[in-house]
């Protein structure tokens, strides 16, 4: 039996201030923002589902990020903290020193609203990534499942997969116009599932598609990122009904219905 060893890497925690270089609306619900700036040099992201903490302007319009003190990150006293949210480094171009982040425009919250109005020259704070879990690349098959918040991680993973890898990908999006190209050297079967008006926390399209999936023989790794309750339910179903071993399954709530992401269980 193959070991399928995942690798956990730690990175020195750094807080940076970045500048918006370009903004591009990829699809009706996805805004791409490309960041740069001197402080971005040396940025490291080793796994496609890494995340950074982004710090958005506080009520006074200021970016107030922690600074590294002797006891770890500390906020400057007496300042109103910046709202902080998790985002995926979609692509880092070392030679141009440019970091691409894709923001879902879901219509509420400091991150989504900031991204909808982002303009060249604006600043943002960023911390991390603090670490990366590099999933073993020796599984026989991969299944990637997510809603639109998972598209940056899925897109990056597919782009980085070797051509010998096979993968089934299930992506749930609001409408057909929210499809985007997901090029990959690997052998990928991609299924777009469109909610067409059903909310992202109530939909069951991914759950039905997962149950209907015909998995080839061999060892399969499953990765899931959706609204928290849905990710938890799919994880439970895979482990209880399909006996998927714990280390062959990663399911994470990328947002929580009715709550802001800052109190997510991570
Ligand atoms: C590891 C990780 C990586 C992530 N990567 C990305 C990424 O690359 N791109 C990306 O867009 N998101 C990503 N997310 C999800 C993102 O952090 C959350 O969607 C976050 O809540 C957005 O913050 P906000 O300020 O816009 O809304 P919040 O203030 O957090 O929430 C406001 C309201 O909007 C609802 N809400 C939040 N997100 C959504 C959503 N997607 N759809 C519908 N309702 C929502 C909440 O339930 C709440 O009622 C990632 C999350 C994690 C944990």
How far does the centroid of ligand 1 lie from the alpha carbon of residue 175, in Å? 18
DSSP 152-193: HHHHHHHHHS-TT-EEEEEEEESSGGG------SSEEEEEEE
DSSP state of 39: G
157 lines ligand 1 (CB under 6 A): no
- What pLDDT does residue 259 have? 75
Task: Compute the distance from residue 55 Cα to the ligand 1 centre, in Å.
Answer: 13
Please report the pLDDT score of residue 266 as a whole number.
Answer: 35
- Residue 169, helix vs strand vs coil: strand
Q: Do domains 7-131 and 136-263 have the same CATH topology?
A: no
Q: What is the pLDDT at residue 57? A: 96
Looking at residue 263, its pLDDT comes to 47
Q: Is the peptide bond before 129 cis (omega within 30 degrees of 0)?
A: yes
The superfamily CATH assigns to domain 7-131 is Translation factors (2.40.30.10)
- Distance, CA 181 to ligand 1 centroid (Å)? 22
**The two three-digit tokens of residue 229, written as one number:** 């309750």
pLDDT under 50: residue ranges of the chain: 263-266
Q: Quick one: pLDDT at residue 29?
A: 98
* pLDDT for 258: 85
Domain ranges of the chain: 7-131, 136-263
Whole-number pLDDT of residue 261: 66
Q: What CATH code is assigned to 136-263?
A: 3.40.50.80
pLDDT of residue 264: 42
């Amino acid at each position: 039996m193959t070991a399928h060893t995942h690798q956990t890497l730690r990175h020195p925690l750094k807080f940076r201030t970045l500048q918006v270089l370009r903004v591009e609306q990829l699809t009706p619900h996805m805004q791409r923002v490309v960041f740069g700036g001197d402080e971005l040099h040396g940025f490291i992201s080793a796994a496609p589902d890494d995340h950074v903490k982004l710090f958005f302007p506080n009520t006074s319009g200021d970016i107030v990020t922690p600074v590294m003190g002797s006891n770890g990150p500390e906020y400057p006293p007496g300042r109103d903290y910046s709202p902080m949210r998790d985002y995926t480094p979609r692509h880092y171009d070392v030679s141009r020193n440019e970091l691409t982040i894709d923001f879902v425009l879901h219509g509420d919250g400091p991150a989504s609203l900031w991204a909808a109005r982002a303009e060249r020259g604006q600043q943002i704070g960023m911390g991390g990534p603090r670490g990366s879990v590099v999933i073993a690349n020796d599984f026989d098959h991969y299944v990637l499942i997510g809603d639109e918040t998972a598209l940056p991680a899925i897109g990056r993973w597919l782009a980085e997969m070797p051509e010998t890898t096979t993968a089934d990908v299930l992506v749930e999006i609001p409408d057909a116009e929210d499809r985007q190209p997901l090029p990959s050297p690997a052998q990928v079967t991609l299924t777009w599932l469109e909610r067409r008006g059903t909310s992202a926390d109530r939909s069951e399209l991914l759950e039905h598609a997962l149950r209907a999936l015909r998995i080839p023989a061999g060892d399969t790794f499953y990765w899931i990122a959706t609204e928290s309750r849905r990710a938890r339910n799919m994880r439970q179903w895979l482990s209880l009904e399909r006996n998927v071993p714990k280390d062959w399954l990663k399911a994470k709530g990328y947002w929580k219905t009715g709550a802001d992401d800052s109190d997510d269980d991570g």
